[in-house]
Amino acid sequence: MIDFSRAELTHFVIHYVGNKGLGEELTLSDKVYKFKDDFVKETLLRYFLSPFKTDIYHQFKGKVDVTLNSVANVCEDIFNDSKEFVKQSRTAAEHLYNQSMHPKVKGGEFYACYFRDAVVDGELCDAIGFFKTENKETFLKVYQHVDEFDVDCETGININKLDKGALIFNTESKKGYKLSILDVNSRSAEIALYWEEDFLNATLKPNAYYHTKNFIEASRGFCEEILVEENNVAKQDQMMMLNKSTGYFKEKEKFNMKDFEKDVLVQPELITAFKDYRKDYNNRFDLNTVDEFDVSPTAVKKNQKYMRSVVKLDKNFHIYIHGRHDYVENGYDDEKGLKYYKLYYTNETN
């Protein structure tokens, strides 16, 4: 949980970072911004901080050679001496500019903030914020002049849509600090790594979210790669495994591998097959095998859409199987030369 209710914004700098690959400019400020009134300051803080609410945390992969620019080095220097804030924010902006080479990366304002007395997961600490504005919207302004009106258009920033952001908390420094990251363009394959990896050089922190996400993805991979018709596994058996896995994570607060084997896998041959697959999966993605961890509701919710028990039949039918897989049969009709499903039920509901 992130709480900035008692935090104070002590340093604020604005730079402009264009697309270097397209020859756009880099404009650097040489002093902190002085707010004209509290309303603007509070509006900016709401714009920057309100999107950060989940339990998904990252950490820096590691510091690089101190002669090179890196956000990890910048943050360490700022935490050690906040008087260097403007200088180090310029270094961060230059680093971001050098990563802005792909033609689809948009230029925009780059903001650097220093917060005193933020709270993350109950711990009081300082924090650094880096934010970037990429998208502008058109707004209408209506003016009243006695008994008539005038309308004008202005281009500005929607304060409810932060494009990119990163909060770096001054805690767990030896483990790469604790980071919270936001990027609305992370689903775009071509520039998905631009903010999180190219700029921040960050990776998921091994916590409840990290372990839950990895295990759910391994379970889904097992169903989609091993529990398939080519291995003589009926589609409804694959759906049953998906359904039981989803149910397990929805019901449990803590994960235990032995319980998962007993409640979900059940059959000895399935347990063995899953162990072999998970070992290969973890080696493939360089993951440690963890058999006990807290279940993250955020990870369950984010991955639930991939664990739906749906059987898709050509382009004509979708069968949603929520339970009682023993009420489902499939086979092959020799006369029609087609596969079929047979469903048993007690009552029909609207």
Instruction: Kindly report, residue by residue over 132-144, the tens digit of the pLDDT.
Output: 999 999 999 898 8
3-class state of residue 174 by DSSP = helix
The predicted structure's pLDDT at residue 245: 86
The maximal CA–CA distance of the chain, rounded, in angstroms, is: 83
The predicted structure's pLDDT at residue 238: 76
The predicted structure's pLDDT at residue 316: 74
| Tokens describing residue 93 | 């902006």
The predicted structure's pLDDT at residue 335: 84
The predicted structure's pLDDT at residue 336: 83
- Separation of alpha carbons 183 and 305, rounded Å: 20
The predicted structure's pLDDT at residue 321: 65
Residue type, 322: H
The predicted structure's pLDDT at residue 323: 59
pTM attached to this predicted model = 0.81
The predicted structure's pLDDT at residue 342: 81
The predicted structure's pLDDT at residue 60: 95
Instruction: State which residues of the chain have pLDDT below 70.
Output: 63-69, 236, 305-311, 319-327, 350
Q: What are the residues facing 182 on neighbouring strands?
A: 165
| Tokens describing residue 172 | 């767990």
Q: What is the mean pLDDT of the chain?
A: 88
Q: What is the pLDDT of residues 192-234, one digit of tens each?
A: 899 999 999 999 999 999 999 999 999 989 988 898 877 887 7
The predicted structure's pLDDT at residue 345: 79
